[in-house]
A = this chain, B = another copy of it.
Amino acid sequence: MTRLTVEYDGTPFAGWARQPSGEPSVQGELERALATLLRREVQLTVAGRTDRGVHAWGQIASYPGEPARLQGLNALLPPEIAVLACDPAPDGFDARHDAVSRTYCYRILARRTPGAFEQRRALWWPRRVDTAALQACAAALRGRHDFTAFTPSGSGHRHFGRTVVDARWEAHGDELQFWIEADSFLRHMNRVLIGTMLEVAGGRRPVQGFTALLDGRPRSQAGVTAPAHALYLASVRYPDTAPSPSGSAGATTTTILPIP
């Protein structure tokens, strides 16, 4: 088996999943490049099927057989997809079923003026933000809850209980980031969580009005679905391994290089 770690800018793609229409997708581009290099058909299994416009810093995918050469693979891919690693994995490794948790990040540019570099990469939010209320919402999310209110009614899910391992808001300059790690996510769950928490941040819904939704209320009681283009699949955790790298907007170490 082979395990891929993939970074992508979701802007030009219909999402992760290969489209019957042939519209460009991350899966489609990767499978085509792998088929060219390995001279056979390849079917990828993925940890998180991201929607149209959603980005990834550390998506994980797997396929049966030998790794392809990393340099060759990146040379065959569009510039919005970068394979960070292509390594042998244990027999039977499955990127989806073996994943213990997924971590997502939602980026909000919380300032009066728009960002020239963030048009398709963060949500510009020039309104009032009560960060203490946001953090209270994040604290309430931890643990096991029924997330029926946070996914479209016809989403096809049969079970709505999910376990949130960690959830928190961070401030990086004038950017607010929402980080959430859970065993798995319902369709649009992160985006409805964000849309509802921004109502709380603006004083239009009390914190208790948010936490009350976590015991299986109908979708109609939660807020709007926030845009996809500010959401990033940051990393995936597997048993006995550290999470996959969390990408450039995650916490990085700043070093002033030594002067020799």
Contacts and interface: CB of A to CB of B under 8 A. Distances in A.
Contacts of A169: 257
A163 interface: no
Given A132-B257, A132-B260, A253-B173, A7 B116 contact: yes
27 contacts: A9-B117, A55-B116, A71-B112, A79-B119, A80-B119, A82-B113, A82-B114, A82-B115, A83-B113, A84-B113, A85-B113, A115-B248, A117-B121, A117-B248, A118-B248, A132-B257, A135-B257, A135-B258, A135-B260, A136-B259, A138-B259, A168-B257, A170-B254, A170-B256, A171-B253, A172-B252, A173-B252
Nearest to A85: B113
Secondary structure type dominating chain A contacts = mixed
A251 interface: yes
A5 to B, nearest CB: 9
A184 to B, nearest CB: 24
B74 A114 contact: yes
> Most chain-B Cβ atoms within 10 A of its Cβ — which of A7, A116, A134, A257?
A116
A196 B257 CA distance: 19
Contact of A171 (B117, B136, B170, B257): B257
What number of copies of this chain does the assembly contain? 2
Interface size class of A (residues with CB under 8 A): 35 or more
Nearest to A126: B71
Contacts of A254: 170-172, 251
A133 to B, nearest CB: 8
Given A170-B255, A172-B255, 15 more contacts: A8-B116, A70-B112, A70-B113, A79-B116, A81-B116, A82-B114, A132-B257, A133-B260, A135-B257, A138-B259, A170-B257, A171-B255, A171-B257, A172-B253, A175-B248
A35 interface: no
A37 interface: no
Interface string A71-90: 10010000111111100000
Contact of A135 (B79, B80, B259): B259
Interface in A3-37: 7-9
Nearest to A246: B173
A114 B114 CA distance: 28
A43 interface: no
